[in-house]
Structure 1
Amino acid sequence: MTETDLGSKPRATLATIPFNEVDKTLVADDHFLFLTLASASFVEILSEMYAGNLIQLFKEDKTLTKWLAECWQKEEVQHGTALKTYVQTVWPEFDWKTSFKAFYLQYSALCTIDQLEAHKSLELMARCVVETGTSSFYRALQHYVREPVLRQILALIKADEVMHYNHFRQYFSKYHAIEQHSVPALIMAIWRRLGGIQSQDAYIAFKHVHQGFYPHRQFVPADWTNYSLTVKRLARDHYPFAMAIKMLLKPIPLVTPIRKMVEWPLVGIAMLFTRA
C-alpha cells in the first residue's frame, strides 16, 4: 500500500451536494429519521477526537498516521458536516449547536486513548468492526430513505466507509503478522467493540439529540428503548446482514471452508436478533 494509493480516490465535497434541492415533504415528518441523522452527525464530527487517539497510538507508523490525519479524519468530519447541514435544512427548529456541545462534554470524557485496545492489531480489528457498522448502517439508511439528496449523501458516505474499512483491514493484516493473536482473541476484540458502539456512541448522541428536540421533557431510558425497537423493526427490511457478516469475518484468519460454513448461520442469528 503506497501513500499515492491512499490518497488517489477523488473526494466528494459539500459543494457537490445540492442542499437547495432537498424535498422536505419526503422527510420532514419522519421523526425516526431526524433522530438518526442528527445523532449520526454528532458521532461523525467527533471522529476528529478519536483520530487523535489513534495517531498517538500509532505515532511510529508514519504512513498510517499520515492517512489517519489527511484522509480518514477529514472524511469522517466531512460526513458529519454533510449530515448536520441536511438536518439544519430540514429541521431548522433544532438547536444543533447547543445539543452537540452537551454531547461533546459527555462523550469527550470517555473518548480517551485508555479506551483503545492494548494491542495495535486488536485496535485495528476494532476499527474494522466500527467501519463495518457504519458502512452497513448507511447502506440500510439509504435503502430506507426516498428523498433524492439524502440518498446521494448516504451513498457517498457509505462508499467512503467501505474504503476506510479496506484500509484498516490492510493495516490490521500488517500488525497481525507481527503480533499473531489467536482467533478467539480476535473474536473477543470484535465482541468488545460491538458492545462499545452502542454504549459510548449511539446512546449518548441519541440522548442529547432527544433532549435538544424536546427541551421541556426529561429524557428517560425508555426513549432509547423505543427507538431501538424501531431500529430493529426497520432492519428486517433494510439492513444488509450478509454484507455486514462478511466484512466482520474477512479479517479473521480462517480457511475458506470454515468461513463459508459459519457465515450464513451468523447471518441467520443476526436476523433473528431483530425479532427479539
Structure 2
Amino acid sequence: MAAYKARWTIEDLDFSRMALDRVRADENLFYMASSASFVESGSDLYTQNLVDFFRGDAEVVSWLRNQWEPEELQHGRTLRAYVHHAWPEFDWNTAYQDFLAEYATYCKVELLAPTRALEMAARCVVETGTATYYRALARATTEPVLRDLSNRIATDEINHYKHFYGFFRRYREQEGVGRARVLATISKRTLELKSEDADCAIRHLVKARSPERATDASYVRELSARMSGTVRRNLKPGATLKMLMRPLELPATMQAVVQYPIRQFMQHVFLR
C-alpha cells in the first residue's frame, strides 16, 4: 500500500473563526463534541484488536494501521483542540485518562464477531453510526468551525465504510456467510450503537465537569437521551438506512418490503 497521505489536517481548521457565543453555553454540544473526542482518541486500542483479529491479511492490516488508525486519531486530536478552544476551563487530559482506564477494559478481541466477514459487516454498522452522528452534529450547530470539522469527519467515516464494505464482500465470498447471519450481526450491532463506549465517556465527562452529579444516574441518562434526540432530529434516515442495508445485498423488490421495518428499528435505536 502507498504511504498514507492525509486528506486534511488540523491546520486546515481556522479556530480564530469560532463563534464562541454559539457554543459556550450549549451543554449538549459540549457533551457531544467531548464524548466523541474521548472515543476517537482511544482508537489505537481498538485498532490493535482488529489487527490481531485480521492478522495474516496484509491488505486489511496495512489499511487499518496506515489509514484507518491515523485518521481516527486525527479526529480525536482535532475534536480535543476544538473542546480546548470552546471550553478552555475544562481539564480534558485528566478526564480522558480516567475514561481511558475504564475504556481499555472494553477493548477485547473476544468481543468481536465470530467470523471475519461478520466483523466486517459489524464495522459497516459502526461506520454508519459514526457518519450519522457527525452529519447530525454538523446540522445541529450554527458554529462554523464545529460544522466544518463535523462534516470533514463524516466524510472520513463514509470512506472508512466503503473500505470495510469492500473487505466484507471478499470475506463473505470466502466464508459463504448467508444473509440471515449478516442480518443478525447488523441488527445486534445497530442495537449496540449507543454502546458502553459512549456511556463511559459521558460518565467521565460528568465526573470532571459536574462532580456533584457524578453519581446521578438519571442525569447521565438524561444527557444521553438529549444527545440521541439531537442525532434523531438531524439525521437523514434514507442515507443511514441505505448504508445499513447495503451488506444484505437484497434484490430491489425485497428492499422495498424490508425498508419500513428496518427504518422503524433504526428510529427505535435513536429513541432509546
State the TM-score bracket (shorter-chain normalisation): over 0.9
1:203 aligns with 2:199: yes
Contact preservation (8 Å) 2:190, 2:269: no
Distance 1:275 1:112, change over 3 A: closer
Aligned to 1:51: 47
| Equivalent residue, structure 2, for 1:180 | 176
Query: 1:93 aligned to 82, 86, 89, which one?
Result: 89
Aligned residue for 1:68? 64
Map 1:140-155 to 2 at 5 A. 140-155=136-151
- Write the letter of the residue equivalent to 1:233: G
Distance 1:106 1:248 in 2: 29
TM-score, structure 2 as length reference: 0.94
Aligned partner of 1:15 among 11, 18, 22: 11
- The residue correspondences of 1:106-117 to structure 2 (distance < 5 A) are 106-117=102-113
CA distance in 1, matches of 2:214, 2:4: 46
Which residue of the other structure, out of 239, 249, 263, is the alignment partner of 1:253? 249
> Is the CA contact (8 Å cut-off) linking 2:23 and 2:143 kept in structure 1?
yes
2:123 partner letter: R
Shift of 1:254: 1.6
Deviation at 1:158, TM superposition (A): 0.4
Question: In the alignment, is residue 216 of structure 1 matched against residue 212 of structure 2?
Answer: yes
Q: 1:31 to 1:48 in 2, by over 3 A?
A: same
Structure 1 match to 2:155: 159
CA distance in 1, matches of 2:161, 2:200: 24
Measured after TM superposition, the shift of residue 183 of structure 1 is 1.7
1:125 paired to 2:137: no
Q: Please report how far the alpha carbon of residue 262 of structure 1 lies from its aligned counterpart in structure 2 after TM superposition.
A: 1.7
Residues 145 and 183 of structure 1: CA distance in aligned 2, closer, same or farther (over 3 Å) = same
Q: What TM-score do the two structures reach when normalised by structure 1?
A: 0.92
- What amino acid does structure 2 have at the position aligned with 1:192? K
- CA shift at 1:49, angstroms? 0.8
Q: Unaligned 5+ residue runs, structure 2?
A: none
Instruction: Count how many residue pairs are aligned between Structure 1 and Structure 2.
Output: 272
How far the C-alpha of 1:68 sits from its partner, in A, is 0.4
186, 193, 207: which is aligned to 2:189?
Answer: 193
Cα distance change on mapping 1:145 and 1:191 into 2, 3 Å: same
Change (3 A) 1:45 1:235: closer
Identity %: 33
Answer yes or no: is the 8 Å Cα contact 1:138–1:155 preserved in 2. Answer: yes
Query: 1:59 aligns to what SS in structure 2?
Result: coil
Superposed displacement of residue 109, structure 1: 1.1
Query: 1:275: Cα distance to partner?
Result: 6.0
How many Å apart are 1:268 and its aligned residue?
4.3
Aligned alpha-carbon RMSD (Å): 1.9
CA contact (8 A) 2:32 2:227 kept: no
